[in-house]
């Protein structure tokens, strides 16, 4: 029998149900793998005791015939989700030592479905970053290395970098991620796993540390499409504690999963062919198109004319909301407080926030404060809101011509740590293909498509109509079956 840690969510769930192994064995195996992989810095907090406790409950449930949908499955939780009794920092020093008395709805849903928690996953600070280098607790190192023999540590992408690395390194079968402008999809692509951002409002944001409220959306990251479907089903659902949560039943995505996409029209947006993108990206894209055609889909060239405004629009709206959302970290009620020897409240704010926030977070607070300030609001924030509406309209129109879109997930493969960290614009460009679907609130998934010349994974993105996660998952499954992506990072850690 192969190692338990080589199994994904479905294989563990079913194997446990069938009596192939106990939940305790699963938890032990992953706890050990987590402990052995500290070199990746994927977890900021490990909770082996919680994984074991859930496993014990799962074993009892199996004995008494009370299995829950995720009984026996241990998961990693991104540190953006508040977890009762477990430190939650959004990987920011300003929240160091903060232990919530509450669970986020999404992580709470997973635990209520019988899952166990292996620990809290490292991420870019407050989810602001595309390389995990902005984490207050050090960057996550990708389990992948270039095939050129150089051992340059690579980024797992971001902001859900710890999540991506954990799945790719087989130290968690599935994890939660969050995606504001590509934070699930880009890291999934970088490490050769699957991750879906559902329609905005599918997953409750209650208890999820806010970055940009109108964009933030939780989603699963796992080894394959089916695992994502299983997890998303447990995570999603209407939540009266989040006014923006959608009051709709959760579809049975797993049961309805089908690779039969014959007759589906798959759009290839011409604006996603941009200058300066490595030829290999185009190559896997063409390959992906061929696979979709092979699956019986009809390929149509389409246009999303406002695509090139998406990134600047995103980098106005997201920082604007962030500048306000992060005002609460002021040292008054929780988290870090820094008191200078002299001065009063203002000096405490300044010292606390100067010490607690990292450079990227400060940059975005500054940008956001600027675009909302008197005299600039109309030129920036208001204008960005209008462009956002145009971008959403682009998609509305394109759905008249096609059912799904197939695009690259990111404009490059994983890069080395330090390679872009001094160039914010180059870093922001990572999200160029991910951001439009975020601004429009659409479901979008990254699936592994192949390797580049250096042996690093590349992913493609499938975007669907609002609420059509099923269509996205189905196309992903058809894609996955043809891509046959089995490459994995050799364990060096």
Q: Contact residues for other proteins (CB under 8 A)?
A: 81-82, 88, 90, 95, 98, 100-102, 104, 205-210, 212-214, 240-244, 320-321, 323-324, 326-328, 330, 332-334, 345-346, 349, 369, 372-374, 377, 381
Task: Extract the tokens encoding 362.
Answer: 């400060």
Smaller CB distance to other proteins: residue 25 or 350? 350
Q: How far apart are CA 179 and CA 430, in angstroms?
A: 13
Quote the least distance from Cβ 242 to other proteins, whole Å. Answer: 5
- Cβ atoms within 10 Å of 348's Cβ, excluding its own: 17
Smaller CB distance to other proteins: residue 33 or 184? 184
438 among known catalytic residues:
no
Task: Extract the tokens encoding 111.
Answer: 């635990």
Smaller CB distance to other proteins: residue 16 or 200? 200
Question: Which of the 8 DSSP states describes residue 328?
Answer: G
The contacts of residue 354 (CB under 8 Å, 6+ apart) are 338
Smaller CB distance to other proteins: residue 302 or 320? 320
Smaller CB distance to other proteins: residue 334 or 493? 334
* DSSP code per residue over 183-233: TTHHHHHHHT-EEEE--TTSS--TTBPPS-TTT-EEEEEESSHHHHHHHHH
Choose, from 183, 412, 421, 438, the residue flagged as catalytic.
183
Spatial contact of 320 and 440, defined as CB atoms under 8 Å apart: no
Question: Which of the 8 DSSP states describes residue 303?
Answer: -
- Provide the edge-to-edge strand list for the sheet that holds 457-464: 43-46, 116-121, 74-78, 174-179, 217-222, 194-197, 444-451, 457-464, 404-408, 265-269, 298-302
Q: How far apart are CA 88 and CA 82, in angstroms?
A: 6
The contacts of residue 258 (CB under 8 Å, 6+ apart) are 474, 477
Quote the least distance from Cβ 375 to other proteins, whole Å. Answer: 9
78 among known catalytic residues:
yes
- Cβ atoms within 10 Å of 375's Cβ, excluding its own: 6
Chain center to CA of 35: 23
Quote the least distance from Cβ 220 to other proteins, whole Å. Answer: 19
Task: Extract the tokens encoding 314.
Answer: 């995103």
Smaller CB distance to other proteins: residue 103 or 227? 103
Spatial contact of 481 and 448, defined as CB atoms under 8 Å apart: no
Q: How far apart are CA 47 and CA 31, in angstroms?
A: 8
- Cβ atoms within 10 Å of 235's Cβ, excluding its own: 24
Quote the least distance from Cβ 212 to other proteins, whole Å. Answer: 7
Smaller CB distance to other proteins: residue 2 or 101? 101
Give the largest Cα separation in the chain, rounded: 71
Quote the least distance from Cβ 213 to other proteins, whole Å. Answer: 4
92 among known catalytic residues:
no
Choose, from 10, 71, 78, 438, the residue flagged as catalytic.
78
Nearest CA to 134 out of 158, 156, 153, 152 is that of 158
Choose, from 159, 163, 204, 438, the residue flagged as catalytic.
159
Quote the least distance from Cβ 393 to other proteins, whole Å. Answer: 19
Quote the least distance from Cβ 431 to other proteins, whole Å. Answer: 19
Catalytic residues: 78, 159, 183
């Amino acid at each position: 029998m192969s190692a338990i840690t080589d199994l994904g969510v479905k294989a563990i769930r079913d194997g446990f149900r069938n009596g192939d192994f106990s939940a305790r064995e699963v938890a032990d195996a992953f706890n050990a793998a987590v402990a052995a992989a500290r070199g990746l810095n994927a977890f900021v907090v490990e909770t082996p005791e919680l994984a074991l406790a859930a496993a014990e409950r799962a074993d009892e449930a199996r004995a008494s015939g009370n299995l829950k949908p995720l009984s026996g499955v241990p998961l990693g939780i991104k540190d953006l989700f508040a977890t009762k009794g477990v430190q939650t920092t959004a990987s920011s020093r300003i929240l160091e030592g903060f232990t919530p008395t509450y669970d986020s709805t999404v992580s709470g849903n997973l635990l209520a479905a019988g899952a166990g928690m292996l620990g809290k996953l490292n991420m870019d600070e407050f989810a602001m970053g595309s390389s995990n280098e902005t984490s207050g607790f050090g960057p996550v190192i990708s389990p992948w290395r270039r095939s050129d023999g150089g051992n340059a540590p690579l980024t797992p992408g971001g902001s859900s970098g710890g999540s991506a690395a954990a799945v790719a390194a087989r130290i968690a079968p599935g994890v939660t991620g969050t995606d504001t402008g590509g934070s699930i999809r880009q890291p999934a692509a970088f490490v050769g796993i699957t991750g879906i951002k559902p329609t905005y409002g599918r997953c409750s944001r209650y208890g999820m540390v806010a970055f940009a409220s109108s964009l933030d959306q939780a989603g699963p990251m796992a080894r394959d499409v089916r695992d994502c479907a299983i997890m998303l089903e447990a995570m999603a659902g209407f939540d009266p504690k989040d006014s923006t949560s959608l009051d709709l039943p959760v579809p049975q995505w797993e049961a309805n999963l089908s690779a039969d996409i014959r007759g589906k029209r798959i759009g290839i947006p011409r604006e996603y062919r941009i200058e300066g993108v490595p030829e290999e990206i185009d190559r896997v894209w063409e390959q992906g198109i061929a696979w979709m055609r092979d699956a019986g889909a009809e390929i149509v060239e389409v246009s999303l004319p406002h695509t090139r405004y998406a990134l600047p629009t995103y980098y106005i709206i997201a920082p604007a909301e962030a500048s306000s959302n992060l005002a609460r970290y002021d040292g008054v009620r929780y988290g870090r407080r820094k008191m200078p020897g002299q001065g009063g409240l203002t000096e405490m704010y300044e010292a606390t926030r100067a010490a607690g926030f990292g450079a990227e977070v400060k940059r975005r607070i500054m940008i956001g404060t600027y675009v909302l300030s008197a005299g600039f609001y109309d030129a920036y924030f208001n204008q960005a809101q209008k462009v956002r509406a145009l971008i959403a309209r682009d998609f509305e129109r394109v759905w008249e011509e096609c059912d799904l879109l197939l695009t690259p997930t990111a404009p490059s493969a994983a890069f080395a740590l330090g390679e872009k960290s001094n160039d914010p614009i180059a870093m922001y460009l990572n999200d160029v293909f991910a951001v439009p679907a975020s601004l429009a609130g659409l479901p979008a998934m990254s699936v592994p498509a192949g390797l580049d010349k250096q042996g690093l994974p590349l992913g493609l993105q499938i975007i669907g109509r609002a609420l059509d996660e099923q269509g996205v998952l189905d196309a992903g499954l058809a894609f996955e079956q043809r891509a046959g992506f089995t490459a994995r990072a050799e364990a060096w850690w």
